[in-house]
Amino acid sequence: MNLQWWLVIGYKITNNQYPITKLLPAPFYPHPPLVKNPFVLPSLPCYPCAGMELQAITGQLYIVNGQPQDTESVPGLLAQKAPSRAAHGRDRDFLFAHLTLSGPPAETAVLAQDLLDSISNLFYQTPGSVTAALRRAIIETNRLLLQHNVSGANVAREGAITCAVLRGEELYIAQAGETFAFVGHNFGVERLPPNDPPRITPMGRTAGLDIRFFHNWLQPGNMFLLADPRLAHLPTRAFNNILIGAEIENSLRELSEIIGQDSARVLVLEFTDEAPDYVPDATRPSAAAVSLPATRPSGQRLSPPTGRPQRDLEPARPVAARSMPFVPRRLPPAVANLDVETVETTARKTTAQAAKGLSRFTGWLAQLLDRLRPGRPAPGEYTGWAIPAILAILIPLIVTVAVTTVFLQRGRIVRVAEIRQEMNQNLTLAQAATTREEEQNHYFRVLALADYAESLQPGNEEINRLRREAQKELDTLEGITRLVVQPLYEYPEGTLLTSIALGDELNGGIFLLDAAGNRVYRHETDETYLNLTTLDPELILSGSDVVGNHVVGQLIDLMWRPRGQAVSRDGMAVLDSNGALVTYYPNLGDVRAVRLGLASDWRQPVAITSFNERLYILDSGSEQIWRYFAEGDGFTINDEQRSLTFGDSGDLDQAADLAIYSEDGSVILAYRDGRLRRYVGDRLLWNEAEFLTSDTDSPPIVPMQAPTAVKIAGQGLNSSIYVLDPSTGRLLYLSLGGGFLGQFKATDTTGQELFARAADFAVAENPLRVFIVADNTLYVATQQ
């Protein structure tokens, strides 16, 4: 393969206010007539790049009270290339980040740099998909900030972050907190998120974080702006001149004028496939090499996040000391060589037909106006000028709108046709692939192209057919069983369903927790749970309700509490952050609340379960599993046995959910970093390595990235374990001994992976029924 060597060279524009770095080809070194203070970045070595497709240019802007700051390191901004010892699949990824913390930047600079280092290290040490690595990096960094806030910090800090990863022609974006960004296309500016999310949880406030993901295909001339939240009041159209058809130098000047006398920190990216018109002469003696050390403000460094051992990765560097090289992914010749002549001929025919149709429409409109116009006035008779003037204005406007609509529609049709052709070529190449990894990559490419085509032309049946074909082949390669999904009920916009529990098998019933509205709903069903017997759910509990002498607070989690020696009725129990367990009894429709001791010691309770009529509360904030003993309708707590203890630390600060086996009381813990453990007493019985190394003829099992829920279904020795891992979009099916039994995926009505955005699930077996809550919708998934 013919490889060109690239050299990273940086330069500053003439006014020396906006640092810019750019990937430039080494063979071209003309004299830079418009460049001031050229410099070489010695910290980044030369490396090969397979051809020249796109180059990434980065520029930063740091303004305080209207004054540009002449600094090489901007607090909260990061542009990072892959380190030499990155995890598998991360070596081609380039990471950008914009982190905002509450408080003056001078006071939060050290903390911001620590958090950016954490994001960089965690992202590059996590294998798998880009979104999974971003999710883990943001979740663990949020945990680090939360730990800083609850560990006696003088001032609690909350944050917002936008992370972007450049891989080939694709840009993956993840956001958390009150932040936003812009993507500049040749047809307009796209705001991310397009609308205000119904719920925004800042970083550092709670372990439960709402992460928004976006994906874009890049073209030469596209731009990306990681904006400061202080600019959120500006409309999207204010950024048109900055991100459409502009060069990065002019964009930074325009941004400076928009910011005016305010303060802001922004990071701008420009993507191009052409060599620059001028390049600093790195070989000239006058162009002295200037080293830009990756310095950090002085201060106390936070300890790194616990969990997986840290790998020896390169630290994150300031934006000005990084140039972002673009490593293109070469497609096979059969994919790259599109039939350009056919596309151009089709475009010309479409334009000609549109022009003919427009001329006919204009002639018809002129005839219509002539018929509607009154007879010609007699000589000397006064005629008004208002109607002719209005017609003279309306006709050009109508023609302009019609022409614009035709051209936009023509562009979409041509682009979708190109995408469909590329999808067919990738399917053909996948069948001819010689390795499993190569075959998978072609199918992944088909799915990504289908998502892009869906955004241009929703509901295209041919695109959906190709998507289903690729998905079926990919499931076979990965050993996936795909479930059939059916929506059961959709709640109004703004609802956020986070927990689900099933009633008993005799009476049925599905109970849901809406975290956004702080409410609990009940759906009446038959004994199969599949058929809703009422049109709308029943509201059984909401925040601020008064139950006896207790005022309901924030509702955290719910579970089905069967009758026993202490209680005589079945009920749905809900944990209340005000220190009570509120129970709804379906037989009489009444609600009762009991206080729980030592509730003032709770830090961050996240889940509840029961065993032998005892109540167990997983509190990741205090790293405890609180244990309450049933006593009549209430509970007591024993100082000597108030929490579960394990032989090792248990790492409960990273635990996301727990389940307890009804036969021996063993505890199964799912961790946000991908671990799964089963404890019997204080002894570790097995961990996730048990099912990853299971002796099976199925394809290699992909490790979990960030499981969020674990359930035990069945009775006695026939019980089995289900684990939800949204990062990989799977539901894992394990035996009690930790052996791998299978894995499930499901596609929602829009063609997207349902488990990737699921918050919780419940399982009913014989036959298998999986009930899932995602956003504002209740789904059921069954086997074919």
Distance (Å, whole) CA 326 – CA 344: 29
Distance (Å, whole) CA 692 – CA 738: 9
Report residue 312 CA to chain centroid gap. Answer: 27
Per-residue pLDDT of 522-547, as tens digits, reads 999 998 999 999 999 999 999 989 99
The HSE-up count of residue 291 (CA atoms within 13 Å, CB side) is: 6
Sign of CA dihedral 72, 74, 75, 78: negative
Q: How far is CA 424 from CA 118, 445, 465, 749, 751, in A?
A: 41, 11, 11, 23, 18
Q: What is the pLDDT of residue 604?
A: 93
In this structure, of 172-176, 386-390, 685-689, the range with the lowest mean pLDDT score is 386-390
Higher pLDDT, 756 or 374: 756
Distance (Å, whole) CA 88 – CA 97: 21
* Per-residue pLDDT band at 9 (split at 50, 70, 90): very low
Report residue 74 CA to chain centroid gap. Answer: 25
Q: Which residues, listed in sequence order, are joined to residue 636 by a DSSP beta bridge? A: 629
Q: What percent of the chain has pLDDT over 70?
A: 78
Q: How far is CA 729 from CA 66, 155, 641, 725, in A?
A: 46, 37, 38, 6
DSSP 347-391: HHHHHHHHHHHHHHHHHHHHHHHHHHSPPPPPTT----SHHHHHH
Asked whether residue 697 carries a pLDDT value surpassing 80, the answer given is: no
Per-residue pLDDT of 69-81, as tens digits, reads 877 778 899 988 8
The HSE-up count of residue 239 (CA atoms within 13 Å, CB side) is: 28
Which tokens belong to 335?
């994919």
Which tokens belong to 682?
């204080």
Global pTM?
Answer: 0.51
Q: Which amino acid is at 410?
A: R
Q: What is the pLDDT of residue 262?
A: 87
- Mean pLDDT of all residues in the chain? 79
Distance (Å, whole) CA 770 – CA 778: 11
* Per-residue pLDDT band at 84 (split at 50, 70, 90): confident
> What backbone phi and psi angles, to 5 degrees, belong to 485?
-105, 140
Q: Report helix, strand or coil for 284.
A: coil
Q: What is the pLDDT of residue 30?
A: 29
Per-residue pLDDT of 496-507, as tens digits, reads 999 999 998 777
> What is the mean predicted confidence (pLDDT) over 75-101?
88
Which tokens belong to 361?
């429409």
**Residue found by looking up tokens 């206080």 in the block:** 595
Annotate 668-684 with three-state secondary structure: EEEECCCCEEEEECCEE
Instruction: Give yes or no for a contact between 72 and 318, defined as CB atoms under 8 angstroms apart.
Output: yes
Per-residue pLDDT of 325-354, as tens digits, reads 333 333 344 434 445 455 555 556 666 666
Q: What is the pLDDT of residue 275?
A: 53
How many other CB atoms are found less than 10 A from the CB of residue 2?
A: 5
Asked whether residue 280 carries a pLDDT value surpassing 90, the answer given is: no
The HSE-up count of residue 293 (CA atoms within 13 Å, CB side) is: 3
How do 77-80 and 94-101 pair as beta strands? antiparallel
Q: What is the pLDDT of residue 717?
A: 80
Q: What is the pLDDT of residue 320?
A: 37
Distance (Å, whole) CA 1 – CA 699: 32
How many other CB atoms are found less than 10 A from the CB of residue 178?
A: 17
- Cis preceding linkage at 193, omega within 30: yes
* Per-residue pLDDT band at 168 (split at 50, 70, 90): confident
